[in-house]
Each structure stands twice: as structure tokens, then as C-alpha cells.
Amino acid sequence: MIMKYNEFLIRLSNPARRALEFQGIDSFEKLASLSKKELLSFHGVGPKSLPIVTECLNEQGLKLKD
């Protein structure tokens, strides 16, 4: 089953969700264009968000940039 981006956002904490929205990250493709370091640099996104992001991107056949 392919997850919709808004379903992914619901799985994140409110601060992480707001951080992605503030940065204009509104699709899995835009999210996949980030590295772990870039993602963690956003205020509100912490290490607990990484497994959720990674899992959801994997379900879409995507991954974070190296």
C-alpha cells in the first residue's frame, strides 16, 4: 500500500511536522532530496523522527540523500 504524504505527516511529532512544512517539504520526493544531516538541522526534527522518515520513504521506494 502506498502511503499519502499527509498520512506520513500524522506519524511525526508536531514540531517535526511544522519544521517540514516551514521548510516547504510537501512531498516524499522533496523529503528524499535531503540528507540525514540536513533533516536533523531543522529545528523540531530530532533523532526519533529519523526511523519514521526512513521507513516511510522506503515504503515509497525512496531514501534520504547520502
Domains of the chain: 5-59 (1.10.150)
Q: Which residue has the higher pLDDT, 13 or 1?
A: 13
Model pLDDT, residue 1: 57
Residue 16 near residue 46 (C-beta atoms within 8 A): yes
In the predicted model, what is the mean pLDDT of residues 52-60? 95
Element spanning 49, H or E = helix 49-59
Number of residues that make up the chain: 66
Q: What's the CA gap between 18 and 21, in Å, rounded?
A: 5
Q: What's the CA gap between 29 and 47, in Å, rounded?
A: 21
Model pLDDT, residue 3: 82
Q: Cα 55 to chain center, whole Å?
A: 10
- pTM flag (> 0.95): no
pLDDT in tens, 2-41: 789 999 999 999 999 999 999 999 999 999 999 999 999 9
